[in-house]
Amino acid sequence: MKAGMEKISLKDVAKYTGGKLFLANDTDAVTGVVIDSREAGEGDLFIAIIGENHDAHKFIKSAYEQGCRAFLVSSNKEASELPEASYVLCENTEIAMGMLAKWYLSTLNLKKIAITGSMGKTTTRDMIYAMSSTKYRTGKPIKNYNSLIGISMTIFTFNRETEVAVLEVGMERLGEIHEITEIIEPEIGVLTYVGMTHIDTLGSRENIYKAKMEIVDFLSNDGSLIINENCPVIEREKIRSEVKGDFEILTVGSRANPDYRVTDIKDFGDKGIAFRLWHGGRDYSIELDVPGAHNAYNCALALAAVGKLGIGISEALKGLTKLERTDKRLQIKKSMFMDIKIIDDSYSSFPEAAKAAVDTLMLTEGNRHIVIFAGMNGLGEESEDLHMELGKYCKKKGVSLVVAVGHIAENIAEGAKGGETDSIYMSENSQVIRQLKGLLMDGDAVLVKGSRIFKMEEVVKAIEAL
């Protein structure tokens, strides 16, 4: 599949963003979109986003010096001072970017799959991409882009050769997934799980569920929603009674009679999982080189999604032999000189995911099983109790040593006290890193996990260097 987006005229940029075009040179079209001036060059449209900390209008001159001559701006001060700069002036560049992405995507003849959920959406996305790629030219997010800006940037990497787009949709507030799916207008929606993340801002798990269900707001009646009914708040009948639309609902789970039934899950720790899948009157035995029992359900969700693309289960499973998993999601790593096995799950954390990671650790071969946990962000008033509960879970499972890092995680160490589990608390990553040689020994299996803001990959890298 060729790289890069199709050519867009600046007249269309102005038309579909509601902006006004100021044409100062021969540049009447662009073949790329950037929001980082360091990546700007000839043929690009630089969109000057105003963020919480930076106003990208300040970097227009820098982008210009690197050969960029086309700009989407909400203030014409900087661009108007550059003699060869053409620009479109709009009210809000972030909104305009979404409008442009929506229009551009509508010009491409492709199937769109949108995935959301509190847990597992990135792994499910990666699986769908691998399976879809067995039959179709498939596009997926660049980097970890799942916000409105990130998804817009991803859309600008697609072109007329792209046949399927696999897009991951994140959220931090009610209405955000609605705004993103208005751009995507997916034919297939996938809901992996509804957990406790963002309960501090949304107030309840039910509100988190409502926010995630915005994935169907622009799903047509001939579209499909694929859900994980093993999550206690996701049920087909509940959705049917509460959500408008006659779209198809396909279920995955181990209870009752789902469309894709997962049974007999065997968890081999760092070595992966095996399970049986029942669908369409047939029984499939599946082995995955992917740690975590919950990934049996993510795999079933992915199989259901590509099934709507006409890819059979046997063919789709062949695609998983080329699965490229995104980093920091139960990635198995090793230290350089010592015999230490690392389970890097440092990208994010919330209660259900943290407990699942502990389960994987305890099924991984090691002389000692050690967790290094930072806090779980976004849990609101329940934060103290949920961190305490996670510490108790570690103790119940027989973790050898719990190292809790940062003030939010202090209750993890408190909950783990007693019995045969040792627990210590440290205030910051640097303190842990300084003491790693005294904490770890050959033969250890170590799980590292925490919410994104705590940058636990710093600890992972330090263990790798041992």
Q: Is the dihedral of CA 147, 153, 157, 158 positive or negative?
A: positive
Examine the domain organization and report whether 112 and 258 are in the same domain.
Answer: yes
Averaged pLDDT score across all residues of the chain: 95
Examine the domain organization and report whether 350 and 290 are in the same domain.
Answer: no
Residue 189 domain flag = yes
Examine the domain organization and report whether 286 and 139 are in the same domain.
Answer: yes
Examine the domain organization and report whether 213 and 254 are in the same domain.
Answer: yes
DSSP 396-432: HHT-SEEEEESGGGHHHHHHH-STT-EEEEESSHHHH
Examine the domain organization and report whether 360 and 304 are in the same domain.
Answer: no
Examine the domain organization and report whether 447 and 375 are in the same domain.
Answer: yes
* pLDDT(226) > 50: yes
Write down the pLDDT at residue 3: 62
Instruction: Evaluate whether 167 touches 113 at the Cβ level (below 8 Å).
Output: yes
Examine the domain organization and report whether 266 and 337 are in the same domain.
Answer: no
Examine the domain organization and report whether 340 and 456 are in the same domain.
Answer: yes
Q: What is the mean pLDDT of residues 388-397?
A: 98
Q: Which of 5-19, 192-206, 400-414 has the lowest mean pLDDT?
A: 192-206
Instruction: Evaluate whether 90 touches 73 at the Cβ level (below 8 Å).
Output: yes
Whole domain around residue 123: which residue ranges? 108-322
Residue 103 domain flag = no
Examine the domain organization and report whether 190 and 293 are in the same domain.
Answer: yes
Give the model's confidence band at 421: pLDDT under 50 very low, under 70 low, under 90 confident, else very high.
very high
Give the model's confidence band at 84: pLDDT under 50 very low, under 70 low, under 90 confident, else very high.
very high
Examine the domain organization and report whether 212 and 121 are in the same domain.
Answer: yes
Residue 101 domain flag = no
Residue 100 domain flag = no
Residue 98 domain flag = no
Domain edge (last residue) among 285, 300, 322: 322
Stronger pLDDT, 60 or 198, i.e. the higher one: 60
Q: What is the mean pLDDT of residues 62-82?
A: 96
* pLDDT(26) > 80: no
Residue 401 domain flag = yes
374 has which bridge partners?
A: 405
% of the chain with per-residue pLDDT over 90:
92
pLDDT digits (tens, 9 = 90+) for 227-269: 999 999 999 999 999 998 899 999 999 987 999 999 999 999 9
Residue 2 domain flag = no
Q: What is the mean pLDDT of residues 69-94?
A: 96
Q: Cα–Cα distance between 275 and 267 in angstroms, integer?
A: 9
Give the model's confidence band at 429: pLDDT under 50 very low, under 70 low, under 90 confident, else very high.
very high
pLDDT digits (tens, 9 = 90+) for 446-458: 999 999 999 999 9
Number of domains in the chain: 3
Close Cβ partners of 40 (under 8 Å, ≥ 6 residues apart): 34, 46, 62, 63, 66, 67, 68
Helix (H, G, I), strand (E, B) or coil at 365: coil
Examine the domain organization and report whether 231 and 303 are in the same domain.
Answer: yes
Examine the domain organization and report whether 311 and 346 are in the same domain.
Answer: no
* pLDDT(416) > 90: yes
Write down the pLDDT at residue 1: 46
Burial group, residue 301, by CB count within 10 angstroms (0-12, 13-18, 19+): buried
The CATH number of whichever domain residue 353 belongs to comes to 3.90.190.20
